[in-house]
Amino acid sequence: MNSLEIAKSCSTYSCWHPLFALEDLEEGGVPVYTQLLDQAVLCERLSEGKVSVRLADQQRGPDRQAEDLHSQVQFGFVWACIGPNPQLLFDIPEYHEPDRRNVCTGVFGVEVSAPRAIENFLDMGHFPFVHTGLLGIEPHTEVVDYQVTVSDEPNEIVATECLFFQPQAAVGSVGGVVTEYVYRVPHPFCAILYKSCPFDESRRDVITIFVQPESEERIRAHTMMSIVDPESSDTSIRLFQQMIFGQDKPILENQFPKKLPLDPLDEISIRADRVAVAYRKWLASGGVRYGVIPGAQAT
């Protein structure tokens, strides 16, 4: 099976996938190309926040809408589903709170599979070595034990009580603190991170990664923050996030193999990270075949 056939044969085809930040598209402008699951798609921003997404090689007849793919705008992004029966897109309730700053922090091209990018996002162990002086610092390298639960309704992974010492946890932080993280994985290629908010102890900042799989080994990583921060400018929020992502990019691109192995014996014994183990199992049981190397049982 080639990559396109794999996409069509697995649950990935009925997922929603992010394509663009709405603000990056010009209203009434020319349709913009991008790639999704090995297919070229065209995305067009119409008036009043509406969008139209279609396969680029699709001939257009008189009934334009009949040829359009399923699309929607959510969390400031255009999402599309190529398959005929889209699954429900997850929600992020905090996003809708009126006093939140919702900032699209940029899209970055990376030569890696979508699940590798998600797994990296879930991994705190790399903070002291990759995000030195910001999200972690030696000798504070220990990831204390945390809780991982997998639920059916909604179908997602939640990791809680992830405590980590961070020298500069966010753009608004002054000095080092022990930060508490909560991770949610509500979608095979999307993850949400909740972390202590430096401005309000009772609330949590939200950082998301929405991965657009261009192909099995090439992604566009869309990032977004939904935070309580009355002080920092949008630009400084974006610049902080870009710096973090710029540090992750070479790590991601040096992953080998680029696809994520799902066989429990493959890599898990050496990297016994519990959320990663849960994520790989969850992908396998959810029938995800795209961007992964299936385990022995699945082949």
Is 208 in contact with 192 (CB distance < 8 Å)? yes
- As measured in angstroms, the least distance from the Cβ of 111 to other proteins is 7
Binds other proteins by CB under 8 A, chosen from 243, 257, 271, 296: 243
Q: How far apart are the two ends of the chain, measured CA to CA in Å?
A: 12
Residue with smaller CB distance to other proteins, 155 or 242 = 242
The verdict on 106 binding other proteins (CB under 8 A) reads: yes
The angle at the Cα of 17, spanning 16 to 21, to the nearest 5 degrees, equals: 125
Give the shortest CB-46-to-other proteins separation in angstroms: 22
Q: Is residue 231 within 8 Å of residue 237, measured between CB atoms?
A: no
Question: Residue 10 binds what, of Fe ion, other proteins, none (CB under 5 to 8 Å, by partner type)?
Answer: none
* Tokens (6 digits) for 146: 């945390």
Q: Does 214 bind Fe ion (CB under 5 A)?
A: no
248 lies in the site for Fe ion, by CB under 5 A: yes
Q: Is 205 in the site for Fe ion (CB under 5 A)?
A: no
Q: How far apart are CA 5 and CA 112, in angstroms?
A: 19
What is the C-alpha R_g of the chain? Answer: 19
CB of 200 to other proteins, least distance (A): 25
Q: Pattern of binders to other proteins over 7-26, x per CB under 8 A?
A: --------------x--x--
Residues 115-154 that bind other proteins (CB under 8 A): 129
Please tell me the distance from the alpha carbon of residue 107 to that of residue 226, in angstroms, as a whole number.
16
Residue 109 interface partner, choices Fe ion, other proteins, none, CB cut-off 5-8 Å depending on type: other proteins
> Given the complex with Fe ion, which of 44 and 248 has the nearer CB atom?
248
CB under 5 to 8 A by kind: which of Fe ion, other proteins, none does 266 bind? none
Helix, strand or coil for residue 165?
A: strand
Partner residues linked to 17 by β-bridges: 80
Look-up of token digits 């609330």? 203
Question: Up-side HSE of residue 118: CA atoms within 13 Å toward CB?
Answer: 30
| Contact partner at residue 235 from Fe ion, other proteins, none, CB < 5 to 8 Å by partner kind | other proteins
Q: Out of 49, 230, 250, 257, which residue is the one contacting other proteins (CB under 8 A)?
A: 250
**Of 105-113, 152-160, 225-233, 244-252: span binding Fe ion (CB under 5 A):** 244-252
* 239 binding other proteins? (CB under 8 A): yes
Give the CA-trace dihedral at 10, 12, 13, 15, to 10 degrees.
Answer: 140
For the chain, the residue count is 299
| Nearest-angstrom CA–CA distance, 143 and 126 | 10
- Binding segment for Fe ion (CB under 5 A), chosen from 142-150, 209-217, 225-233, 241-249, is 241-249
Question: What angle is formed at CA 111 by the lines to CA 25 and CA 109, rounded to 5 degrees?
Answer: 20
- Interacting residue ranges for Fe ion, rule: CB under 5 A: 248
- Interacting residue ranges for other proteins, rule: CB under 8 A: 21, 24, 106-111, 129, 220, 235-236, 238-239, 242-247, 249-250, 253
